[in-house]
Amino acid sequence: MAGGAREVLTLQLGHFAGFVGAHWWNQQDAALCDAADAGEPPGELCPDVLYRAGRTPSGQDTYTPRLVLMDLKGSLSSLKQEGGLYGDRQLDAAIAWQGKLTTHKEELCPPNPYLQDLLSAEGVLSSDGTWRVKSIPNGKESSSRVWSDFLRVHLHPRSICMIQKYNHDGEAGRLEAFGQGESLLKEPRYLEELEDRLHFFVEECDYLQGFQILCDLHDGFSGVGAKATELLRDEYSGRGIITWGLLPGPYSLGEPQKNIYRLLNTAFGLVHMSAHSSLVCPLSLGGSLGLRPEPPVTFPHLRYDATLPFHCAAILATALDTVTVPYRRRSSPVSMVHLADTLNSSGKKVATAAAAIPFPLVPGQCLPDALAQLGGAAAWTPLSACGRPSGARFAQSVVLRGLDKACLTSRPAPGTRLPSPLHACDTGEDVLAQYLQQQQPRARSSAHLLLAPCKVVPPYPCLFSPSLGRHGLLLDGPPSGAAVESIPVLGALCSSSTLGRALGDLARDLGKLDVRRWASFMDAGVEQGDVEEALQELGSLAQCYQGGDGLAD
């Protein structure tokens, strides 16, 4: 593998996971294309960690995500299951067969209008001769009903695993309950298909550091994730398994069965996946994991529609693209196992995420000034539906990316009084580390600095305030009207006593349920004893975050 990359295999389990994954891969692709177009030397992030090199039967070189994804029948829209790079396998098989053929042709889904706009008009030539991205009006983004509508990356034919047993659309044949998903991977057909795909990608790796799993928590895919993480733990012992449990936007009290199922699936998913993973982190723009609806989180410089998966997934993908930087670096990477070990001591297998999207910086301002204005972690937006971090802080991994090298430190004139200790630091890494030490002096903190920003070109939605410039910096003058193409981001993974409260609240909500009223959930393969065991395990998890050595915010 080029450069001795420590490879990661990504699993996407579920439809909202597909939305987040599509934005994630589009952002990786945008960064790769920018570097290739500019003829730049190898960047700070190593794409070989996530991508694999290959070749089609016709000799065409390919570079595709090292990815296995599972979704339901009807979720691909106009995307072919085998992708478009390696030809049509069914057609190849037909050519090889010399017998009589009968063709049954299914009507193709028309291409999504939003994707058609992207393909036909990606940018405009500005007066200075530079190609600029052309934004697509937000109204058309709502037409992205499925993640395949806006995925711009070619996938390997072994990547997509369709579950034909359940439907993506309609009221019947839905994958709604944890037990359904768990039973699915007990069926030889789907278990063998998943194992074959895993083996294909794993066996070509020189140094597999682990698996990152994007898994829906709110529906039956929580059960699929539970069995998948168990399989990975048993077959690939010693590899890192970091699971991102995904929950779509807000919910309403008007859908009681859907809300009860969401609570049960989330509780069972967190319990089982934390048992089999190195680390689990819920990701959501909602305000609560429990039954009480809370308003979605807000960002000072983003304007998003929390009811659109397309919007919510874009924001979560941006956070994911930032907090995963440590194990994707080209120089001095931190392995997935080490990153998880930083956060999961003493049974703390669940972490929370938070971010400043974008990181607020005015042109000409230095990082010490910006951090001083930012204040503590309360200025960051929580992204795990667990409320704002509070109480004892045990450990955290923080990444700041996208700032120009010239603004990372303060350069006061000789003899000038320094506004803060941050202004005395010699490097940007020292500035960030000093800031974290000031905010949480007793927490175990790791700080990572990356010059490369997050790419937010179409099909990333137009979410940004007019007060932001093309590179995501706060304007000190009137809006320029230019589309935002990249942004600086501050992202964090954190282990804190906030989780004790959130997991405890989840356990209390679960304990109040009379599960006998929800026979359809139990009929899917969950027994009363399983509910009681999940309650006990949730309580034990919550207890791990009580007290300990950390700073009270």
The CA distance from 318 to 355, in Å, is: 9
Residues 317 and 208 grouped into a single domain: yes
For the chain, what is the domain count?
Answer: 3
pLDDT value, residue 33: 86
Mean of pLDDT values over 448-453: 96
Tell me: the pLDDT tens digits for 377-435? 567 899 999 987 677 789 999 999 999 999 999 987 777 888 889 999 999 999 999 99
Burial class of 34 by CB neighbour count within 10 A (0 to 12, 13 to 18, 19+):
middle
The CA distance from 252 to 496, in Å, is: 28
First-last CA distance in the chain = 45
The CA distance from 381 to 358, in Å, is: 11
Tell me which of 318-327, 371-380, 449-458, 490-499 is least confident: 371-380
Residues 528 and 409 grouped into a single domain: no
Residues 206 and 310 grouped into a single domain: yes
The CATH number linked to 167 is 3.40.50.1440
Q: Is the pLDDT of residue 150 over 80?
A: yes
Last residue of a domain, one of 344, 364, 392: 344
Look up tokens 């509070």; give the residue: 390
pLDDT band at 464 (very low <50, low <70, confident <90, very high): very high
Bridge partner list, 464: 302
> Within a domain: residue 393?
yes
Burial class of 131 by CB neighbour count within 10 A (0 to 12, 13 to 18, 19+):
exposed
pLDDT band at 256 (very low <50, low <70, confident <90, very high): confident
Residues 256 and 273 grouped into a single domain: yes
Look over the chain and give the mean of its residue pLDDT values, rounded to a whole number.
Answer: 86
Residue 144 DSSP SS3: coil
The pair phi, psi for residue 62, each rounded to 5°, is -130, 160
pLDDT value, residue 376: 65
> Within a domain: residue 101?
no
Q: Are 381 and 357 in contact (CB under 8 A)?
A: yes
The CA distance from 479 to 281, in Å, is: 37
Alpha helices in 465-527 (DSSP H): 498-512, 519-523
> Within a domain: residue 440?
yes
Residue 133 DSSP SS3: strand
In total, the chain counts a number of residues equal to 553
Last residue of a domain, one of 475, 496, 517: 496
Residues 234 and 216 grouped into a single domain: yes
Q: Are 180 and 522 in contact (CB under 8 A)?
A: no
Q: Are 365 and 473 in contact (CB under 8 A)?
A: no
* pTM, rounded to two decimals: 0.90
> Within a domain: residue 105?
no
pLDDT value, residue 38: 61
Mean of pLDDT values over 216-244: 97
Mean of pLDDT values over 143-172: 87
Residue scoring higher pLDDT (31 or 476) = 31
pLDDT value, residue 67: 98
Mean of pLDDT values over 169-197: 91
Tell me: the pLDDT tens digits for 514-545? 888 888 888 888 888 999 999 999 999 999 99
pLDDT band at 509 (very low <50, low <70, confident <90, very high): very high
Residues 256 and 314 grouped into a single domain: yes
pLDDT band at 291 (very low <50, low <70, confident <90, very high): confident
The CA distance from 490 to 323, in Å, is: 9
pLDDT value, residue 37: 64
Neighbours of 303 (CB within 10 A): 14
Q: Are 114 and 459 in contact (CB under 8 A)?
A: yes
Mean of pLDDT values over 40-63: 89
pLDDT band at 485 (very low <50, low <70, confident <90, very high): very high
Q: Is the pLDDT of residue 142 over 60?
A: no
pLDDT value, residue 128: 37
Q: Which residues contact 119 (CB under 8 A, 6 or more apart)?
A: none
Residues 194 and 256 grouped into a single domain: yes
pLDDT value, residue 105: 46
Q: Which residues contact 36 (CB under 8 A, 6 or more apart)?
A: none
DSSP string across 46-71: -GGGTEEEEE-TT--EEEEE-EEEEE
pLDDT value, residue 377: 58
**Angle 184-186-189 from CA coordinates, rounded to 5°:** 75
Residues 432 and 525 grouped into a single domain: no
Residues 457 and 518 grouped into a single domain: no
Query: Which residue, 487, 319, 495, 490, is CA-closest to 399?
Result: 490
The CA distance from 193 to 204, in Å, is: 18
Q: Is the pLDDT of residue 35 over 80?
A: no
Residue 39 in tokens: 């003829």
Please state, for a pLDDT cut of 90, what percent of the chain lies above it.
65
> Within a domain: residue 86?
no
pLDDT band at 478 (very low <50, low <70, confident <90, very high): confident
pLDDT value, residue 412: 79
The CA distance from 16 to 164, in Å, is: 18
Residue scoring higher pLDDT (133 or 295) = 295
Query: Which residue, 226, 456, 498, is CA-closest to 351?
Result: 498
Q: Are 386 and 496 in contact (CB under 8 A)?
A: no
Tell me: the pLDDT tens digits for 106-135? 444 555 555 555 444 444 434 333 334 445
pLDDT value, residue 415: 77
Residue scoring higher pLDDT (481 or 98) = 481
Last residue of a domain, one of 344, 371, 393: 344
Q: Is the pLDDT of residue 456 over 70?
A: yes
Residues 373 and 516 grouped into a single domain: no
Tell me: the pLDDT tens digits for 63-100? 999 999 999 988 887 677 766 666 544 434 433 445 55
Neighbours of 5 (CB within 10 A): 20
The CA distance from 465 to 363, in Å, is: 16
Residues 399 and 319 grouped into a single domain: no
pLDDT band at 261 (very low <50, low <70, confident <90, very high): very high
> Within a domain: residue 469?
yes
pLDDT value, residue 63: 95
Q: Is the pLDDT of residue 241 over 90?
A: yes
The CA distance from 400 to 382, in Å, is: 16
Please state, for a pLDDT cut of 70, what percent of the chain lies above it.
83
Q: Is the pLDDT of residue 104 over 50?
A: no
The CATH number linked to 400 is 3.30.1330
> Within a domain: residue 201?
yes
Q: Are 489 and 380 in contact (CB under 8 A)?
A: no
The pair phi, psi for residue 445, each rounded to 5°, is -115, 140
Query: Which residue, 467, 445, 447, 471, is CA-closest to 457?
Result: 471
> Within a domain: residue 362?
yes
Domain that holds residue 312: 7-81+146-344
Residues 376 and 459 grouped into a single domain: yes
The pair phi, psi for residue 468, each rounded to 5°, is -105, 145
